């Protein structure tokens, strides 16, 4: 593949529409059927959340526009032995558009997240890995942890 210039930058509220579309593309690629109005609601959410402690996002830009993204949700929880500070980031939406895959974009995005986490003193990064992403995450030091369970609705 030909070499290309890639610039990684952190996003602000002005990026809300593009981030919403990228997240929707990512979720649809994972097989999720998105409800009507999802992208508009997501755009509004990003517009309100970016620039606050609720979320951070980065994009990889090339001459042709945005080629990939990563989003983190900062969290605080009760400290434990593995995370005495109780602080961390949940890494999500590591996504490279199909024409740009295999060029190291996800690696560059994760490197930016690592640098920002180190700068902010964030001791823990968590994520859910797809089969395709697992080898990259393992190279960044991610590994399996406790069993994860989820409940979507409160029983009546």
Residue 153 has pLDDT above 90, yes or no: no
Burial environment of residue 69 by CB neighbours within 10 A (0 to 12, 13 to 18, 19 or more): buried
Least confident of 32-41, 107-116, 141-150: 141-150
- Identify which has the larger pLDDT, 87 or 148: 87
Torsion sign (Cα): 68, 20, 132, 28: negative
Enter the tokens of residue 45. Answer: 């959410």
Average pLDDT over every residue of 28-37: 96
User: Does residue 43 carry a pLDDT above 80?
Assistant: yes
By percentage, how much of the chain surpasses pLDDT 90?
85
Q: What is the pLDDT of residue 19?
A: 98
CB-neighbour burial class of residue 45 (10 A; exposed 0-12, middle 13-18, buried 19+): middle
Residue 109 DSSP SS3: helix
Q: What is the pTM of this model?
A: 0.91
Query: What's the CATH number of domain 7-139, 3.30.2130.10, 1.10.645.10, 4.10.220.20, 3.40.630.30?
Result: 3.40.630.30
Residue 14's closest CA among 52, 61, 48?
48
Task: pLDDT band for 82, please (50, 70, 90 cuts).
Answer: confident
């Amino acid at each position: 593949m030909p070499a290309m210039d890639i610039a990684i930058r952190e996003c602000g509220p002005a990026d809300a529409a593009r981030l919403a579309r990228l997240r929707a593309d990512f979720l649809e690629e994972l097989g999720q059927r998105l409800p009507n109005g999802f992208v508009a609601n997501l755009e509004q959410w990003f517009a309100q959340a970016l620039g606050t402690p609720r979320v951070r996002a980065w994009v990889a830009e090339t001459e042709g526009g945005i080629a990939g993204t990563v989003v983190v949700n900062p969290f605080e929880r009760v400290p434990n032995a593995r995370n005495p500070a109780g602080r961390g980031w949940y890494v999500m939406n590591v996504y490279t558009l199909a024409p740009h895959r295999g060029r190291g974009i996800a690696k560059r995005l994760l490197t930016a997240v690592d640098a920002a986490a180190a700068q902010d003193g964030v001791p823990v990064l968590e994520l859910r890995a797809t089969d395709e992403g697992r080898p990259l995450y393992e190279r960044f030091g991610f590994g399996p942890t406790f069993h994860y369970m989820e409940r979507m609705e409160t029983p009546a």
